[in-house]
Amino acid sequence: MKLAAVQLSISDADSPSDRLALVEQAVATEAGNGADLVLLPEMWLPGYFGFDGYGAVAEDLASGPTVARLAALARRDSVYLCAGSLVERCGDKMFNSTLLFDPEGSRVAVYRKIHLFGYGSREQDLLTPGRDIVTVDIAGCRVGLSTCYDLRFPELYREQVDQGAEMFLIVAGWPFPRVEAWRCLLQARAIENQAFVVACNAAGIQTGSTFAGASAAFDPWGVCLGSLDHRPGVLHLDVRVEDAFDARAEFPALADRRLGRS
């Protein structure tokens, strides 16, 4: 499976329409380069730190114009699109929701961020936490979806493994001061679950907060398959999905679990 994680630049100088134009161009380019799956960062439309703009860009998933355009992109370019996360409006609530589209443009998964960030953030004040753990089959691989701060809660990934996940797709707006924690936790989630980790973060500076960039991927042994620095860019990967099965067969650590299994 060929993957492309698009590390978008988010800044005060650009607008949601600017970012949408960048996304449309990036998806077309990466699909043209042979990507099977394109991955975008968390909350790229308002920018994670653009809290005052959350309400203006919030959309119902069934009728939202941005959701429709993302579905059309996946269909136009015949690619799986993990469209980062958007502000979902559902009744009087808003969620940080990650959407996954298949090459026909059908929405095959929605993950509402469970762990909302509270440290120096308004996310917990504005949004409602999700409740459902989400995994889905794409291109012969079971993937689990999660978002940014979720990375600090390993029990989520254990639950995804119990649902059959061989790969974790993580979208993020992770800030620079904790970039070493980001790298360490990504590798740990790969090692302890014997799963691929593919993580797409944002780049740039918004409202005085600097995104860490450092999008990265790890194989089921914890070996880094590639990473980016703090600048905008695209992380290209060619993953052999069977390596997760092989790693678990060669070193069956998951079979030795004694806690947290039903």
pLDDT digits (tens, 9 = 90+) for 161-195: 999 999 999 999 999 999 999 999 999 999 999 99
Rounded distance between C-alpha atoms, residue 58 and residue 86, angstroms: 7
Catalytic residue status for 93: no
Please report whether residue 137 resides in a domain. Answer: yes
Q: Choose the catalytic residue: 113, 123, 141, 200.
A: 113
Please report whether residue 62 resides in a domain. Answer: yes
Q: How does residue 132 score in pLDDT terms, banded at 50, 70 and 90?
A: very high
Catalytic residue status for 90: no
Q: Which domain holds residue 17?
A: 2-256
Q: Choose the catalytic residue: 123, 148, 166, 200.
A: 148
pLDDT of 262 > 80? The answer is no
pLDDT of 260 > 90? The answer is no
Neighbours of 30 (CB within 10 A): 24
CATH of the domain at 228: 3.60.110.10
Please report whether residue 212 resides in a domain. Answer: yes
Please report whether residue 45 resides in a domain. Answer: yes
In the chain, the percentage of residues whose pLDDT exceeds 70 is: 99
Catalytic residue status for 113: yes
- From the number of C-beta atoms within 10 Å of its C-beta (0-12, 13-18, 19+), residue 260 rates as exposed
Q: How does residue 109 score in pLDDT terms, banded at 50, 70 and 90?
A: very high
Please report whether residue 89 resides in a domain. Answer: yes
What letter represents residue 61's amino acid?
A: L
Please report whether residue 261 resides in a domain. Answer: no
pTM for the predicted model, two decimal places: 0.97
Q: How many domains does the chain have?
A: 1
